[in-house]
C-alpha cells in the first residue's frame, strides 16, 4: 500500500477494479487506501459478477495519451507500456504462499488487448 500511496504523491494515476467480495474481505487494504488517497476504485455494477481477472496495465497507450492531453504535453516522453498478468491472486497469500505464475511483458499485442479489457470493465463498473 505504501508504494501505491507514494506513486500517487508522484502524480501516478491509479485506478483499481475489484469486486464487492474482495473489497470487503479480511485483509483487504483497498478501503484503507481510498481513505489515504483519493483514487477511483470501481466494482461491477452487477453484484453477482466476480472480478476474476488478475492483471495490471502500467503506462498503457490510452492512459498516457489522456495524461499528455490533460497536462498539455506536446512532446511525449518515450515510454514502454507494461502488463503483469497470471494466475496469482493479488493477496499476501497469493504472492507469498502459493505456487502461481505471473507474466511481465511489454508485448504490444498483449498490452493493447488487456488495456482494452481494462477500459471495457471500467465502463461497466461503478465507483465506490
75 has catalytic annotation: no
C-alpha cell recorded at residue 75: 512532446
For the question of residue 34 being annotated catalytic, the response is no
Q: How many CA atoms lie within 13 A of 20 on its CB side?
A: 7
Among 20, 34, 40, 54, the one annotated catalytic: 54
**Which residues lie below 8 Å from residue 7, measured CB to CB, with a gap of 6+?**
14
Asked if 50 and 75 count as a contact pair (C-beta separation under 8 A), the reply is: no
- How many angstroms separate the CA atoms of 54 and 68, rounded? 27
Q: Is the CB of residue 87 less than 8 Å from the CB of residue 100?
A: yes
Neighbour-count burial for 4-16, b at 16+ CB within 10 Å, e otherwise? beeebeeeeeeeb
Q: Which residue among 52, 75, 123, 126 is the active-site one?
A: 52
Catalytic residue flag (residue 59): yes
Catalytic residues: 52, 54, 59
Amino acid at each position: 500500500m505504501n508504494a501505491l500511496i507514494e506513486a500517487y504523491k508522484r502524480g501516478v494515476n491509479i485506478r483499481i477494479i475489484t469486486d464487492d467480495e474482495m473489497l470487503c474481505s479480511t485483509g483487504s487494504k483497498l478501503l484503507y487506501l481510498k481513505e489515504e488517497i483519493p483514487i477511483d476504485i470501481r466494482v461491477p455494477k452487477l453484484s453477482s459478477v466476480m472480478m476474476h481477472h488478475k492483471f495490471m496495465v502500467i503506462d498503457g497507450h490510452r492512459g498516457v495519451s489522456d495524461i499528455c492531453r490533460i497536462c498539455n504535453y506536446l512532446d511525449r516522453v518515450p515510454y514502454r507500456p507494461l502488463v503483469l498478468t497470471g494466475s496469482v491472486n493479488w493477496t499476501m497469500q497469493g504472492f507469498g504462499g502459493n505456487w502461481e505464475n505471473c507474466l511481465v511483458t511489454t508485448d504490444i499485442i498483449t498490452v493493447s488487448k488487456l488495456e482494452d479489457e481494462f477500459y471495457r470493465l471500467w465502463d461497466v463498473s461503478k465507483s465506490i
